[in-house]
Amino acid sequence: MLFPLIKSLLDLPPDSRNLTVRGWVRTKREMKNLVFVEVNDGSCFSGIQCTFDRSQGLDAGTEAALTALTTGASVEIQGRLVPSPASGQAVELAAASVKLTGEAPAENVPGIPAYPLQKKRHSFEFLREIAHLRVRTNTFGAVARVRNRLTFAIHEFFQGNGFQYVHTPIITASDAEGAGAMFQVTTLDLDALAKSGRAPDYAGDFFGKRCCLTVSGQLEAETYASALSRVYTFGPTFRAENSNTTRHLAEFWMIEPEMAFAHLEDDMSLAEEFLKHVFAAVLRDCEEDLAFFDSHIEQGILDTLKSVVDSRFTHMTYTDAVKELEKAAASGVNFEFKPYWGCDLQSEHEKFLTEKVSGGPAILTDYPKEIKAFYMKMNGDGKTVRAMDVLVPRLGEIIGGSEREDSLDQLSRRMTGLGMKTEDYRWYLDLRRYGTVPHSGFGLGLERLVQYVTGMANIRDVIPYPRAAGQADF
């Protein structure tokens, strides 16, 4: 059996049972004969207070450990679980002895610089430089727990609705979004190639052809949805967009459900139900962490999440959204990018629509085909496609999806028109050759979801080790 973590110790009755607390010291305070040590093990936001009473006589080992023990040190503390006289906690440990497992010096000592996370506020920029230690802070511990709970809620939702989890490949020869922002994967000797002056011969490369890291598992998910009816992928995806924003990463985790016999309206309902399910799960199970985000990171985030769970998402076509934006621009709202029909919506537009027009999440549909991917189903007007984006205040796009083109003719024509080689996508077109069905799906970036739920401003602070242009430390 594994020993119980602090999360479960805090729920026990204070019946003087003997137990051991294991974790890392957050603070040590001394008052007269008492030494208070706050220990956190990351199992929940709170730590447990361990109180040493010198008037009871502590053994020499414990006295020595208490002297050496500082913020960040790892400890094992034995004692009895008793009612806590302090406010804000029901129980504490009447500590009898402590074993200092590992020191964390507060001052520089030979060979070891002082532990960088002293009890004071550190900037997120500074913490990004010590990403291997930042998870020991309140904020990053809470982000990690919320991210974990969201991940579990995502699986719960899909598994509970008949979706099967499929593992789509990371290395691929196809560009799923047709946008070309891919990282190449090769074992060719680039230095030798550069010296030789020759063009690379991909036939001699590891996979026998030019391969990249995937930008989306959608195309392969479609193949499985065309047999298992409802599937989802959930894995890392990679984009070599050189955009240095607070919403973009080069490596992020994407959830992509795909449903057979489903149209855009079904996709929209799925997205809304899905988001509400995961919000309800964190509201229920991450109360303490969310209360922290509400008071320290983004005021009102709790009320926002609750109201989103209880209200209906606004539906709007792209065309109507652009009308709203043009109206706003005409009445003096200053957009950096002028809105017009056909423009790709910028995040300032998406924020305006959700913050000023819908006052909450909005699902925009029927975008111009020129700004959307090749696989989206064409509308009867020949100009727009059955696309949907879910937009939220503060962030803009959180989900992108569509009904897929299920007609072989239409899809082949569209791909050829875009200059894509249909031979490279033969397997994808086979889905339209054999037993084609209307089908739809979407992609949600996990990090955008974590940002939305926690209120964290920068996407680099909601993934353990962010990868972005010029950044691949740890």
Write out the residues near ligand 4AD by the rule CB under 6 A. 176-177, 216, 218, 239, 241, 248-249, 252, 254, 256, 397-402, 441-445, 447-448
Give the one entry of Mg ion, ligand 4AD, none that residue 441 binds, where binding means its C-beta sits below a cut-off of 5 to 8 angstroms depending on kind. Answer: ligand 4AD
CB-side neighbour CA atoms (13 Å) of 4: 11
Could you give the angle at the alpha carbon of 85 between the alpha carbons of 79 and 87, nearest 5°? 120
Q: Which residue is nearest to Mg ion (CB)?
A: 400
Give the whole-angstrom CA distance, residue 53 versus residue 34: 5
Q: Which is nearer to ligand 4AD, 33 or 242 (CB)?
A: 242
Q: Which is nearer to ligand 4AD, 51 or 402 (CB)?
A: 402
Residue 456 DSSP SS3: coil
Query: Can you count the helices (H) and strands (E) in the chain?
Result: 15, 16
For the bound state, the minimum distance from the C-beta of residue 364 to ligand 4AD, rounded and expressed in Å, comes to: 12
Q: Which is nearer to ligand 4AD, 49 or 216 (CB)?
A: 216
Backbone angles phi, psi at 374, to 5 degrees: -65, -25
Give the whole-angstrom CA distance, residue 30 versus residue 195: 67
Decide if 339 contacts 321 (C-beta within 8 A). Answer: no
For the bound state, the minimum distance from the C-beta of residue 397 to Mg ion, rounded and expressed in Å, comes to: 6
Give the one entry of Mg ion, ligand 4AD, none that residue 142 binds, where binding means its C-beta sits below a cut-off of 5 to 8 angstroms depending on kind. Answer: none
Give the whole-angstrom CA distance, residue 240 versus residue 177: 13
Q: Which is nearer to Mg ion, 66 or 322 (CB)?
A: 322
For the bound state, the minimum distance from the C-beta of residue 182 to ligand 4AD, rounded and expressed in Å, comes to: 12
Q: Which is nearer to ligand 4AD, 399 or 411 (CB)?
A: 399
What is the per-residue binding string for Mg ion in 380-409, x denoting contact by CB under 5 A? --------------------x---------
DSSP result, 373-416: -TTBPBPTTSSEEEEEEEEETTTEEEEEEEEBP--HHHHHHHHH
Give the whole-angstrom CA distance, residue 296 versus residue 294: 6
For the bound state, the minimum distance from the C-beta of residue 446 to ligand 4AD, rounded and expressed in Å, comes to: 8
Give the one entry of ligand 4AD, Mg ion, none that residue 293 binds, where binding means its C-beta sits below a cut-off of 5 to 8 angstroms depending on kind. Answer: none
Give the whole-angstrom CA distance, residue 40 versus residue 273: 35
Q: Which two tokens stand for residue 95?
A: 């500590």
Q: Which is nearer to ligand 4AD, 104 or 378 (CB)?
A: 378
For the bound state, the minimum distance from the C-beta of residue 443 to Mg ion, rounded and expressed in Å, comes to: 7
Give the one entry of ligand 4AD, Mg ion, none that residue 393 binds, where binding means its C-beta sits below a cut-off of 5 to 8 angstroms depending on kind. Answer: none
Other Cβ atoms closer than 10 A to 116? 14
Q: Which is nearer to ligand 4AD, 4 or 178 (CB)?
A: 178
Q: Which is nearer to ligand 4AD, 45 or 274 (CB)?
A: 274
For the bound state, the minimum distance from the C-beta of residue 446 to Mg ion, rounded and expressed in Å, comes to: 15
Sign of the Cα torsion 198, 199, 200, 201 reads: negative
Q: Which of 8, 6, 7 is nearest to 23 (CA)?
A: 6
Give the one entry of Mg ion, ligand 4AD, none that residue 254 binds, where binding means its C-beta sits below a cut-off of 5 to 8 angstroms depending on kind. Answer: ligand 4AD
Q: Which is nearer to Mg ion, 400 or 455 (CB)?
A: 400
Give the one entry of Mg ion, ligand 4AD, none that residue 442 binds, where binding means its C-beta sits below a cut-off of 5 to 8 angstroms depending on kind. Answer: ligand 4AD
For the bound state, the minimum distance from the C-beta of residue 359 to ligand 4AD, rounded and expressed in Å, comes to: 21
For the bound state, the minimum distance from the C-beta of residue 385 to ligand 4AD, rounded and expressed in Å, comes to: 12
Does 361 bind Mg ion (CB under 5 A)? Our answer is: no
For the bound state, the minimum distance from the C-beta of residue 243 to ligand 4AD, rounded and expressed in Å, comes to: 7
Residues paired with 98 in a beta bridge: 77
Residue 458 DSSP SS3: coil
CA separation, residue 443 to residues 295, 387, 389 (Å):
31, 12, 9
State the residues that interact with Mg ion by CB under 5 A: 400
